[in-house]
Amino acid sequence: MLSVFFEVLRRDLLLAWRNRADVMVTLAFFTIVACLFPFGVGAEPNLLRTIAPGVLWVAALLATLLSLHRLFAQDHTDGVLEQLLLSPEPAVLWVLAKVLAHWLTTAVPLIAAAPLLALLFDMEQSATGVLILSLALGTPILSLLGAVGAALTLGLRGGGMLLALLVLPLFVPILIFGAGAVDAHLSGTGAAAHLLLLGGGSLAALALAPWACAAALRIAVE
């Protein structure tokens, strides 16, 4: 039964590797959004240092949003999705594999790029560490909840805009805790509470979202 999990994961990672440009576009988008802020709010170093965690989190969130439509769209058009749904394997397993592949190909590059961008905003080293940790704990929720949204809007006209409307309000708490973790660390209260909540949220999403996602996919291909 687990073989379907690894098989789908391997396939999705391979597809992502063959379409490396998609991953690079997401990463470039993340960088550009983050770089727009100094132009917008002015290059005052203290101000940039203050807003850096929020800016990087918002940029990561938007980059994830941009990549979500890829999650099921291709499989939907070429019929793989239907085959997977018809197969006797539990849908939750391969949905989870696809979400994991999405997380590995979008969130992990973002997390890897974040320290470089933190340099541009002159963030403290310890704060950068907390930011990385908060991204690592928070982005799985983005992928999992985003997958539900992507499944719900699969094949709809104007699906991309609709996806943003559905998913962004759900992302707000993650943004608050993610950026809040760095702020709490800088203000001396310690980031543990925020990080634990992010981790707990990830586990809760891991337990619930794949089921909702599988149900939404069934509705979409019916």
Partner 1 sequence: METPQRFSLFRYAAPHMFYPLAGKMAPWFLAIAGVLTLIGLYLGFFVAPTDAVQGEVYRVIFIHVPAAWMSMFVYLVMAFWSAVGVVFNTRLSAMMAQALAPTGAMFCFVALWTGALWGRPTWGAYWVWDARLTSQLLLLFLYFGFIALTRAIEDPRRADRAGAILSLVGALNVPVIYFSVKWWNTLHQGASVSLTKAPSMATTMLWSMLVMALAAWAYTIAVTLWRVRSLILERERHTEWVGEVLDAAGERA
Is 54 a residue that touches partner 1 (CB under 8 A)? Answer: no
Is 207 a residue that touches partner 1 (CB under 8 A)? Answer: no
Separation of alpha carbons 113 and 110, rounded Å: 5
Is 177 a residue that touches partner 1 (CB under 8 A)? Answer: yes
Separation of alpha carbons 90 and 87, rounded Å: 8
Is 222 a residue that touches partner 1 (CB under 8 A)? Answer: yes
Is 220 a residue that touches partner 1 (CB under 8 A)? Answer: yes
Least separation in angstroms between CB 216 and partner 1: 5
Separation of alpha carbons 21 and 70, rounded Å: 13
Separation of alpha carbons 185 and 206, rounded Å: 27
Is 85 a residue that touches partner 1 (CB under 8 A)? Answer: no
CB 91 within 8 A of CB 217: yes
* Non-local CB neighbours of 210 within 8 Å, separated by 6+ positions: 92, 95, 96, 99, 144, 147
For partner 1, the closer of residues 113 and 163 by Cβ is 163
Least separation in angstroms between CB 57 and partner 1: 13
The neighbour count for residue 107, using CB atoms within 10 Å, is 22
CA 152 centroid distance within chain: 17
Binding partner 1 (rule: CB under 8 A), the pick from 172, 196, 203, 207 is 172
For partner 1, the closer of residues 28 and 204 by Cβ is 204
Q: Which amino acid, one-letter code, is at 107?
A: A
Binding partner 1 (rule: CB under 8 A), the pick from 165, 192, 203, 207 is 165
Size of the site for partner 1 (CB under 8 A): 32
Is 186 a residue that touches partner 1 (CB under 8 A)? Answer: no
Classify burial at 51, counting beta carbons within 10 Å of its beta carbon; exposed 0-12, middle 13-18, buried 19 or more: middle
**120-159: which residues touch partner 1 (CB under 8 A)?**
145, 148, 152-153, 156-159
Applying CB under 8 A, the residues found at the interface with partner 1 are: 145, 148, 152-153, 156-159, 162, 165-166, 168-170, 172-173, 176-177, 180, 183-184, 187, 189, 197, 201, 208, 212, 215-216, 219-220, 222
